[in-house]
Structure 1
Amino acid sequence: MPLSTPGERDAPVPPDDAGVSFVMPVLNEQRYLRRAVASTLAQDVPGPVELVVALGPSTDGTDALARELADADDRIVLIENPAADIPVGLNRAIRASRYPTIVRVDAHSELASGYARRALRTLARVQAANVGGVMRADGRSPFQRAVARAYNSRVGLGGGAYHGGTEEGPAESAYLGVMRRAVLDEVGLFDESIRRGEDWELNLRIRRAGYRVWFDPRLEAVYWPRESWTRLVRQFRATGAWRGELVRRYGRGNSLRYFAPPALVGAAAVSAVTAGVQLGRRRRGRSWVLHLPVAGYALLIALVALGRGGGRGWRDKAWTAAVLPSMHVSWGLGFVWALVRGARDTVDTSRLDGRNTPLP
């Protein structure tokens, strides 16, 4: 029988064979698109299926590959997303879709076998408006594998449910998301003024409307992180900036874990100023205690890198030790900047150059 929580509304449950619309915003994803599309269309679900791909202004041959894939499979629908922004592309894809259940897919991800069928069962069982699962980050190069280890670590991204949770239940947000179209139409689609964190904001509105957002750890999708240090830093700075913007807009609705990176940036600033003052004095007094937060953080990173979570060899461990603070500091700097000035027109530029080569 469907679960029911007092004070919450049940999302509508369409017939099993009513159909599923997968939606995928794409920008400079030639390297990953073929596999993402293959894992999506391999999903075995009752009823008709379509994959609506919103094509941004790519410069790496993504559009040509997308047309090739669409010519080979009439379930693929191509639409234009000249704005390039993810929420705009998602909304365009949803509006162009035909079926009552929407499955968001990232071109940097690959859905596990049975993902969609299991999600549909969970949606119907708990009558949720949105259900998400676990992001399993993976990598092919030493650097990308280090980033994946950071993603999968509680230290790396703060231990959110979709980074390794094991207990099913109500959630703050949902990775990717399998959503009921009727609820999206009721609460509004993605907020196009939010360029990062748009999923969190949508799920906030879903929850405020009384519907359930659900986490199911049996749902898994592989995620391929950025392939270089500069792209990683650009991505995390933009992500941090938009989280700072979301804090400006929604305040206490944000989890406390989002404040850890800006706290690190603040502690590092205090430590640097203290060190400068100490250099000009012979007697340092007790001001050394102001260095303890940064020293503790450095020790934590060293323990993670040298432990099992740091990889197998010294090369892996060195990359892990470099990647973790790169993610935290760039995210924290973006957050602080946006908290003071707002995210404004901050864009994730990590996919804009389009210099990718196809994967084997």
Structure 2
Amino acid sequence: MSALAWIAVASLAAWGWLLFGQGFFWRTDQRLPPGREPDSWPDVAVVVPARDEAGVLSVTLPSLLAQDYPGRAEIVLVDDGSTDGTGELARSLAERHGGLPLAVVSPGEPEPGWTGKLWALRHGIALARARDREPGYLLLTDADIRHAPDSLRTLVAAAGANGLDLVSQMARLRIATGWERLVVPAFVYLFCQLYPFRRVNRPRSWTAAAAGGCALLRTGAAERAGVPDSIRQSVIDDVALARAVQRSGGRIWLGLAERVESVRPYPRLADLWHMVSRCAYAQLLHSPLLLAGTAAGLALVYLVPPVAVVCAAAGLSGADAVAGWAGAAAWAVMAGTYLPMLRYCRQSPLLAPVLPFTALLYLLMTVDSARRHHRGRGAAWKGRTYARPSAAPGP
């Protein structure tokens, strides 16, 4: 066999392992487990960190104010140094819509060693816990997330009935433009491949992950895990939160949402590029070795199959029939595993064969993330750039 054929066979073998040995990551059946209504509903504090979110808040905050929750619940919106009137808009929306009580607070600039979001969460959680009655749960939700009216109710019922300390749902992401159709489903697909939800949800699992846009956290579990202080430097705070809760003995659960949606638009490729590249290198622990391994893995798994098929079909030197057949089989498995995610995202199945091109984009975004980091512009978000954790001061 040719060298390309051996590489294509290796790619097919990798897809065989991913298909059966990576927690069935490609299935989309991990949805909120059934719950039952408790005799007494626990108090809940909804904590919303917000920095320059006036563009989406008029759509998302009313959905929180209108929560149909039988127990006592309140919203703490932490205005993290906004310059677009986020805090004022939140107050006016509460006056206009009524519903759950809302407190708008501002913690000031983060102390050294803290990311802005976790600094805001720390302030909001501390305020919620300082009330006369400490809440039993904390709903940590981003400012761009719109909730169905029964979202809080079903989250609390599921957590209580299943003995869960952290319940998080990956919100449905907005998909409206061509670039969003190409990139967004693949983003969720690759996240599931990296952190298979079935494996995360298995008791005593070594895999931990969460979706930070919608995470219901038991207050006692937060205290045992020492969060958010114990993860104050984390750029990828949702995964860090899940690991902290799991390490402290808590039960975690992660799944796909049905009626929890992100309304944040990413209309241009540049917007999506920034979303990925701002934290991709942090996911690799700022390690050039991990970056090289990730690039090689993405190339082997996603790029080799179409290259082998094209080279074999064109009769290029160094390609043979084995390369073509192995590449075609690997490409078919790849597309087949992508179909359930496209169905969940309500997108055309015709996008499945295009996944190698999207993977190439993600590879370039990851390399660009490393380039930005080494130029001092790595994990940047809304005017803030965060150093690698080792550069932050200790406790």
Partner of 1:211, secondary structure, is coil
* SS of alignment partner, residue 296 of structure 2: helix
User: What's the CA shift for 1:264?
Assistant: 5.0
Counterpart of 1:42?
A: 66
Alpha-carbon deviations, 1:239-274, whole Å to 9, x = none?
2122122889xx9xxxxxx99853357779xx9xxx
The one-letter code of the counterpart of 2:86 is T
TM-score of the aligned structures, taking structure 2 as reference length? 0.61
After superposition, where does 1:315-354 map in structure 2 within 5 Å?
324-334=359-369, 346-349=378-381, 351-352=382-383
TM-score by length of 1: 0.67
The CA deviation string for residues 130-181 of structure 1, in whole angstroms up to 9 with x for no partner, is 11234322233343344433345x357637456xx79975572222311111
Residue 147 (structure 2) aligns with: 111
Give the aligned partner of residue 85 of structure 1: 116
User: Which of 239, 246, 253 is the matching residue for 1:207?
Assistant: 246
The CA distance in 2 between the partners of 1:296 and 1:259, in whole Å, is 26
- Which among 101, 104, 107 is matched to residue 75 of structure 1? 101
Contact 2:225 2:245 in 1 (8 A): yes
Deviates more, 1:87-96 or 1:34-43: 34-43
CA distance in 2, matches of 1:184, 1:28: 27
Structure 1: segments with no counterpart, 5+ residues = 1-13, 252-257, 272-283, 354-360
Indicate the RMSD between aligned Cα atoms, in angstroms.
4.7
Asked whether the 8 Å contact 1:134–1:220 carries over to 2, the reply is no
Q: Does the alignment pair 1:31 with 2:55?
A: yes
Deviation at 1:92, TM superposition (A): 1.4
| CA spacing shift, 1:267–1:324, aligned 2, 3 Å | closer
Q: Which deviates further from its counterpart, 208-217 or 115-124?
A: 208-217
* Among 203, 215, 218, the residue aligned to 1:180: 218
Give the alignment partner of residue 282 of structure 2, picking from 229, 242, 247: 242
Give SS of 1:16's match.
coil
Show CA shifts across 1:186-238 (max 9, x none). 2111222112x112112112111122112355764212453322222122112
1:255 is aligned to none
Secondary structure, counterpart of 2:278 in structure 1: helix
- Matched residue type, 1:262: A
Distance 1:54 1:262, change over 3 A: farther
Compare 169-178 and 120-129 and name the one that shifted more: 169-178
**Change over 3 Å in CA distance of 1:247–1:323 after alignment to 2:** same
Cα pair 1:70 1:78 within 8 Å, conserved: no
> Match of 1:102?
138
Query: What is the distance in 2 between the residues matched to 1:28 and 1:301?
Result: 39
Which amino acid letter does the alignment assign opposite residue 188 of structure 1?
Answer: G
Q: Could you tell me how far apart the structure 2 residues matched to 1:217 and 1:266 are? A: 28
Offset at residue 300 of structure 1 (A): 8.9
SS in 1 for 2:55: coil
Contact map agreement 2:171 2:257 (CA 8 A) in 1? no
Alignment of 1:118-197 (within 5 A): 118-152=154-188, 154=189, 158=193, 160=195, 169-170=202-203, 172-175=208-211, 176-190=214-228, 191-195=231-235, 197=236
Letter in 2 for 1:223: S
How do 1:166-315 residues align onto structure 2 when only pairs under 5 Å count? 169-170=202-203, 172-175=208-211, 176-190=214-228, 191-195=231-235, 197-215=236-254, 220-224=259-263, 226-245=266-285, 261-263=294-296, 311=347
Counterpart Cα distance in 1 of 2:121 and 2:377 = 19
Q: Secondary structure at the match of 1:104?
A: strand
User: Against the structure 1 CA distance between its residues 184 and 15, is the aligned structure 2 distance closer, same or farther, given a 3 Å change threshold?
Assistant: farther
1:217 & 1:76 partners in 2: Cα distance?
A: 28
Q: Secondary structure at the match of 2:222?
A: helix
Report SS of the residue matched to 2:71: coil
- Distance, in Å, in 2 between the alignment partners of 1:20 and 1:133 is 17
2 CA distance for matches of 1:147 and 1:169? 29
Q: State how far apart, in whole Å, the 2-side matches of 1:183 and 1:20 are.
A: 14
What is the DSSP-based 3-state SS (H/G/I as helix, E as strand, rest coil) of the residue aligned with 1:204? helix
Check the 8 A contact 1:54/1:90 in 2, yes or no.
yes
C-alpha contact 1:19 1:46 (8 A) present in aligned 2? no
CA contact (8 A) 1:267 1:294 kept: no
For structure 2, the 5+ residue unaligned runs are 1-37, 130-134, 305-316, 385-395
Cα distance, 1:261–1:20 mapped onto 2, change above 3 Å = same
On the 8 A contact 2:79/2:87 being kept in 1, the answer is: yes
Whole-angstrom distance in 1 between the partners of 2:279 and 2:190: 17
| 3-state SS of paired residue (1:334) | helix
Comparing 35-44 with 68-77, which one deviates more in the overlay? 68-77
